[in-house]
Amino acid sequence: MAVGDDDLATVRQLPIFRGLAPDALRSLVKDAEVLAYSKRTAIFEQGDRVTHFFGVLSGWVKLYRLRPDGSEVIIEVFGPGESFAEGAICMPDGYPVSAEMVERGRLLAVPVAAYIDRLREDPDMVVRTFASLAVNLKRLVSRIETASSLTSSQRVGAFLLHFCAPSRPYGSAVDVQLPYDKKLIANRLGMKPETFSRALAQLRNHGVTVQGGNARIADLALLRRHVSPD
């Protein structure tokens, strides 16, 4: 499906396209298409030849690796306004991870061949692409750091804090919507579902109450202190 005017606003916010001149953007998305996926649809598999990179218009996508024993390790989860797999553009051995929808949603799929041609013509786009790549690179670095130096309840706390930017304070309390399955959050944070559940229970001592997919943080500063004690 071609890119409609309603999607264009979201596309313009993608890190890899942000700040692009309107006409340059329009000509660029002419090569791309919008794909609607249902929950649990595979987008690409580890080892597949790299044909596209993607922007998320709606829904959530998990990037993961399959272990020999069948378990999967979540590398990263991307949501609306984020792009992924730009780093795979020049990978001759194919995507290093698999990608799958975790909620139904719509993706912008940009063919790499056409994109590389544009890169040759427009040096500014090179810089933009590097910048977008840098965003995801930093996320991986942070992931390594937190995984190896925080306890499970600290990681869960950091996750909640990361997701309460767009919500509203009720007085000093903040409500956070858990964006997807708790099982997936657990895996993304490098722990088992049981441990995640216990971590939430622990966080009650730090002003966090959870009911269903909704969490309320009574005191941001208190939680921050638990996540990174000075």
The closest of 63, 56, 62 to 79, measured between CA atoms, is 56
The closest of 195, 41, 170 to 109, measured between CA atoms, is 41
Q: Which residues pair with 35 in a beta bridge?
A: 107
What are the tokens at 52? 């596209």
Smaller CB separation from DNA, 65 or 192: 192
Smaller CB separation from a copy of itself, 97 or 176: 97
Question: In whole angstroms, how close is the CB of 17 to a copy of itself at the nearest point?
Answer: 15
Say if residues 53 and 118 touch (Cβ distance below 8 Å). no
What strands, in cross-sheet order, belong to the sheet with 72-78? 42-44, 98-101, 61-66, 72-78
Residue 198 touches which member of DNA, a copy of itself, none, C-beta under 5-8 Å by kind: DNA
In the shown chain, the binding pattern of residues 118 to 157 toward DNA, with x for contact by CB under 7 A and - for none, equals ---------------------------------xxx----
Question: In whole angstroms, how close is the CB of 96 to a copy of itself at the nearest point?
Answer: 5
Smaller CB separation from a copy of itself, 42 or 135: 135
C-alpha to C-alpha distance for 158 and 146, rounded to whole angstroms = 9
C-alpha to C-alpha distance for 219 and 196, rounded to whole angstroms = 21
Residue 152 touches which member of a copy of itself, DNA, none, C-beta under 5-8 Å by kind: DNA
Smaller CB separation from DNA, 80 or 190: 190
Site for DNA in 187-216 (CB under 7 A): 190-201, 210, 213
Residue 4 touches which member of a copy of itself, DNA, none, C-beta under 5-8 Å by kind: none
Name the pairing type of β-strands 83-84 and 52-58.
antiparallel
Type of residue numbered 179: P
Smaller CB separation from a copy of itself, 139 or 198: 139
Compute CA 134 distance to the chain's CA centroid, rounded to the nearest angstrom.
Answer: 14
In the shown chain, the binding pattern of residues 172 to 191 toward DNA, with x for contact by CB under 7 A and - for none, equals ---------xxx------xx
Which residues would be at the binding site for a copy of itself (CB under 8 A)?
A: 65, 67-69, 71, 73, 75, 87-92, 96-97, 116, 119-120, 123, 126-127, 130-131, 133-134, 137-138, 140-141, 143-145, 147-149, 190, 228-230
Type of residue numbered 164: C
What strands, in cross-sheet order, belong to the sheet with 83-84? 33-37, 105-111, 52-58, 83-84
User: What is the binding site for DNA (CB under 7 A)?
Assistant: 151-153, 181-183, 190-201, 210, 213
